[in-house]
Amino acid sequence: MAIESFNPYTGRVVRRFRAFSWTKTERILAQAAREALTWRTTTFAHRAERMHRAATLLRERQDELARLMAIEMGKPVADGRAEVEKCALTCDYYADHAEEFMRDELIETQAQRSFISHEPLGVVLAVMPWNFPFWQVVRFAAPALMAGNVGLLKHASNVPQCALALEAIFHDAGFPPATFRTLLIGSDLVEKLITDDRLKAVTLTGSELAGSKVAATAGAHIKKTVLELGGSDAFIVLADADLELAAKTAAQARMINAGQSCIAAKRFIVEKPVVKEFINQLKTHLLAFRTGDPLDEATQYGPLARPDLADELTEQVEDSVRQGAKVELYGGQSESGNALFRPMILSRVKPGQRAYHEELFGPVALILEARDADDAIRLANDSPFGLGGAIWTCDVKRGEALARRVEAGAVFVNSMVKSSPEMPFGGVKKSGYGRELSHLGIREFVNQKSIWIGGGTPLKDGTKTE
């Protein structure tokens, strides 16, 4: 696939880039491996100063970065600015907390002193997607760099300018150049990188297929991986929920990033007594969203990132309708090859339909009718994915109890699923494994080393002097 900036709103290629050769890629890897030996010895204060500076630069360049996202993958500029601010907050968060998260953990044993030391692994490769071009990278890079690792970024081929802009921010913030480099490479060189002994670990956010390939290669070479893959999040609405608030939030949860989010609500599992009213209210809220040029401040959702993604979503919808799903809100593409996809609602979603089993990565809301709360949990868990989920009920204690039964990496009660630096992020089942963010995220790419210190001098009979 070509490495190019393609504007999905105008349908024009903005800029093309020549892919790096293996010779150039290998040279960057060698530089990163050398830098890893030095960077791991720097103090947390030294790293934090630079990470805080990166946060400052993100805020200073907020408008410029939002514009790049609008041009390269269709994100409205208002949403782009919010994404950049979230990146800055996360940089500040790890600058402030990394030392605490990486502190030695004392363990009581028979030793004079024993503890767990968290030590960086070295060079970590990040294979990242286009839907949140800055956030997906920063939530890896901020903890990895603060832990003393160095990062190589293989970004999606349609957001090269975003990838290079992020590299510039880290370099301008004072990080040594080799601690963070963007690799403009195709997927063919990813496997070659993973097999190289100088690379120590890989993190990937993307499709189930891409994750399985990276995991297989990394596993063959005994390398640590973290995978954040697809999601088909359940949004459970019980009969006692605040229906007005639930429906309004449901529309927001489905339309985030034009529906192109792993943790966007996709399956709306509604108890039978309120399902018709919920559909009516959801329809009203979805129709109120404004589309247009992503560079226009008034635009609330833009096109999908590429025309082929809209074509694929259309096929999933049409196949599901042929298999018995009912269209409650007509939208979709105006014609094949058009990246704009207007919101849709499908009901009567049943097993055997693509909509029931697959992730629909775009603004299509799926309605599943539940007999009761137990049936809602059954439907929520009847999915190959397990990333996020939400439960809406006026009985908060009941909501918490039900949340514990949902098979997902995160469940929100009476709130929209979202990620934040304080809480771990990741999934179960086909949604992947490992965690990003929080204290768990910074410890994914470290050697959790046990250190045991005995006391005294051993004697011939095995006893020790005091």
At 455, list the tokens: 């006391």
Cα distances from 140 to residues 103, 147, 153, in angstroms, run: 20, 11, 10
Q: Is 328 a catalytic residue?
A: no
Is 191 annotated in the active site?
Answer: no
Q: Is 245 helix (H, G, I), strand (E, B) or coil?
A: helix
Q: What are phi and psi of 76, to 5 degrees?
A: -55, 140
Confidence of residue 256 (pLDDT cuts 50, 70, 90): very high
pLDDT higher than threshold 60 for residue 148: yes
**Cα(403)–Cα(395) distance, rounded to whole angstroms?**
12
The pLDDT value given to residue 455: 78
Residue appearing with tokens 């007594």: 273
The distance from CA 33 to its chain's CA centroid, rounded to whole angstroms, is 26
pLDDT of residue 2: 85
The 10s digit of each residue's pLDDT in 286-307 is 999 999 999 999 999 999 999 9
Question: Pairing state of beta strands 432-433 and 224-228?
Answer: antiparallel
Q: Which residues pair with 294 in a beta bridge?
A: none
User: Over the stretch 366-405, which tens digit does the pLDDT of each residue have?
Assistant: 999 999 999 999 999 999 999 999 999 999 999 999 999 9
Helix segments in 323-395, DSSP class H: 354-357, 373-381
Q: Which of 87, 91, 162, 262 is catalytic?
A: 262
Which residue's structure tokens are 């605040």?
Answer: 242
Radius of gyration (Cα) for the chain, nearest Å?
24
Rounded percentage of the chain residues whose pLDDT exceeds 70: 97
State how far the alpha carbon of 129 is from the alpha carbons of 68, 73, 132, 400, 408, in Å. 15, 11, 7, 32, 21
pLDDT 10s digits, 264-287:
999 999 999 999 999 999 999 999
- As a whole number, mean pLDDT of residues 62-89 equals 98
Amino acid 183: pLDDT: 98
pLDDT score of 309: 98
Helices (runs of H) and strands (runs of E) counted in the chain: 15, 20
Strands (E), 309-381: 326-329, 344-347, 364-370
- Reported for 64-69, long-range contacts at CB under 8 A and 24+ positions apart, including other chains, are 64/165, 65/134, 65/162, 65/165, 67/295, 68/133, 68/161, 68/162, 68/165, 69/133, 69/134, 69/159, 69/162, 69/294
Backbone angles phi, psi at 53, to 5 degrees: -65, -40
For residues 327-337, average pLDDT: 97
Long-range contacts, 409-416 (Cβ 8 Å, 24+)? 409/435, 410/263, 412/388, 414/241, 414/242, 414/245, 415/249, 415/390, 416/249, 416/252, 416/253, 416/265, 416/390
Which one-letter amino acid corresponds to residue 124?
V
**Residues 54, 173: contact at Cβ < 8 Å?**
yes
Cα separation, 334 vs 73, whole angstroms: 19
Residue 158 has what pLDDT? Answer: 97
- Phi then psi for residue 260, to 5 deg, are -95, 65
Q: Please state, rounded to an integer, the average pLDDT across all residues of the chain.
A: 97
Task: Quote the CA–CA distance of 131 and 305 in Å, as a whole number.
Answer: 8
Stretch 16-42: mean pLDDT, rounded?
98
Annotated catalytic residue: which of 83, 228, 407, 436? 228
